[in-house]
Amino acid sequence: MSLSPEILQKLSNIVGDSFIFTDKEILNHYGHDETEDYVFPPNVVVKPANAQEISAILKVANEYKIPTTPIGARTGLSGGALSVYEGIGLSMERLNKILEIDEQNLQVTVEPAVINQVLREAVAEKGLFYPVDPSSMGSCWIGGNIAENAGGARAVKYGVTKDYVLNLEVVLPNGEIIWTGANTLKNSTGYNLTQLMVGSEGTLGVITKAVLKLLPKNNHNVLMLVPFYDAAQACEAVSAIFRAGIVPSALEFMEREAIDWTLRLVEGISVNVKPEHQAHLLIEVDGNYPEILMLEAEKIMTVVEQFDIDEVLFADTEDQKAALWKMRRSVAEAVKSNSIYKEEDTVVPRYMLPELLSGIKKIGEKYGFKSVCYGHAGDGNLHVNIIKGDMTDDNWETQVPLGIRQIFELTVSLKGTLSGEHGIGYVQKNFMDIAFSKAHLELMESIKRVFDHNNILNPGKIFPDEL
């Protein structure tokens, strides 16, 4: 489609001449995120200053039935910010302020384009803690975190984005501006539109402010890297740690190749990975009392020593901790730089991890693909990177989707689901029938229609093409 001069003029009147863009290069720039190699440029990019301008834009979009896609930091892995039906690209970048850090109530009010890590550091200066830490925390924005219900390494102890969102200012697709709830820790007042909005991937409304819960900051942690000779045993150890009564603040799983590729890509990490190590667990406990953390670390040692492990590395210095975390957070990038790939965000109850992992390998054998797996084992969230390597294009396009379907069928049969923290967006939508009945999907779509009669807001996401 293309937008008429009349429409462009109306949009320009709203945001001002300096904040509307139709230059091809800019459209391309806003047409991709971190999802594989997809590029879906909008017809126009607008950069509104506030909720009122967004409201006016959405009214124009409704009047002319123009698809409108909210665009954040474009770090997403499911294509949620791609303008798959062109139209208006709504860049949120000017709504980038931390509005208030409320030390009395342990809350922060932010605009959506605040970088996750900027927020974390700003509240840390006040002795407060925002625990949600996606691997992309150095670049991803809080708005996108909320839209996709992002998780991260600390989710196992502290929960995911949804657990920190108290209240949202949202521009509804019809242009109405509402606050979804109240700035309270408890709320039993009407339907929970706050939680309906979290994870709705920009399809139900545009988030313009968020009130987030904070915690008092923990000052200490212990980090250890445990090498396993057998990947399935590493998965089994995960449940065993919880059953010993310990809730680690991070419990990350990396298959051998995830580490190999990362060590090749990232400089300055000295970890002694032997050829016999098939997987590693990166385990952190945190708290206020170092002596207790040492006790917990000893308990964890007792648990993991029941498995077939090599020598455990304790990170002694802050630098060593930073290096280990850098290694973990660079895995996705390393895999990406190594080969064309597809990433799935499977999640199961954590005890089902060994079964999921071995099932994925068998499915790979059947369909002829290799996979590199890593992720947040503490919450059963396994990122499955399917590697193209030297696979033919034909097999990549025909066999891999069949294999992915089988992986998701396995995931759901283990009481898990398609996505733990990346969202469904564009790339997983045609697998939604595996997790949900037609009636269930139609119910979700009816909710979408209640919010968005004309289906203008981020169309082409979440719902299968044929419903």
What part of residues 46-105 is at the interface with a copy of itself (CB under 8 A)? 102-105
> Closest distance between a copy of itself and the C-beta of residue 91, in Å?
22
The residues in 363-392 that bind a copy of itself, with binding defined as CB under 8 A, are: 376, 379-381
Contacts of 272 (CB under 8 A, 6+ apart): 313
Nearer to a copy of itself, 225 or 407 (CB): 407
Q: In whole angstroms, what is the distance from residue 2 CA to residue 230 CA?
A: 55
> Closest distance between a copy of itself and the C-beta of residue 335, in Å?
20
Q: In whole angstroms, what is the distance from residue 351 CA to residue 437 CA?
A: 26
> Closest distance between a copy of itself and the C-beta of residue 246, in Å?
7
Residue with tokens 């937008």: 3
Q: In whole angstroms, what is the distance from residue 343 CA to residue 262 CA?
A: 16
The interface region with a copy of itself, picked from 133-141, 193-201, 268-276, 319-327 by CB under 8 A, is 193-201
Q: Residue 280 interacts with a copy of itself (CB under 8 A)?
A: no
The number of residues in the chain equals: 467
CB atoms within 10 A of CB 157: 19
- What is the residue type of 216? P
Q: Residue 195 interacts with a copy of itself (CB under 8 A)?
A: yes
Beta bridge partners of 252: 282
The residues in 126-185 that bind a copy of itself, with binding defined as CB under 8 A, are: 127, 148-151, 155-156, 159-160, 162-163, 172, 176, 178, 181-185
Q: Residue 232 interacts with a copy of itself (CB under 8 A)?
A: no
The residues in 418-457 that bind a copy of itself, with binding defined as CB under 8 A, are: 418-424, 432, 435-437, 439-441, 443-444, 446-448, 450-451
Out of 245, 267, 270, 318, point to the residue binding a copy of itself (CB under 8 A).
245
Nearer to a copy of itself, 229 or 351 (CB): 351
3-state DSSP assignment of residue 254: strand
- What is the residue type of 38? Y
- What is the residue type of 34? E
> Closest distance between a copy of itself and the C-beta of residue 151, in Å?
5
327-346 mask for a copy of itself (x: CB under 8 A)? ------------------x-
Starting at the edge strand found earlier in the chain, the sheet holding 20-21 runs 20-21, 44-46, 88-91, 68-71
Please answer whether residues 407 and 360 qualify as being in contact, where contact means their C-beta atoms are separated by less than 8 angstroms: yes
Q: In whole angstroms, what is the distance from residue 77 CA to residue 261 CA?
A: 20
The residues in 396-425 that bind a copy of itself, with binding defined as CB under 8 A, are: 412, 415-424
Out of 28, 192, 337, 392, point to the residue binding a copy of itself (CB under 8 A).
192
Please answer whether residues 14 and 48 qualify as being in contact, where contact means their C-beta atoms are separated by less than 8 angstroms: yes
Q: Residue 395 interacts with a copy of itself (CB under 8 A)?
A: no
Nearer to a copy of itself, 112 or 181 (CB): 181
Q: In whole angstroms, what is the distance from residue 241 CA to residue 401 CA?
A: 35
Out of 43, 239, 330, 338, point to the residue binding a copy of itself (CB under 8 A).
239
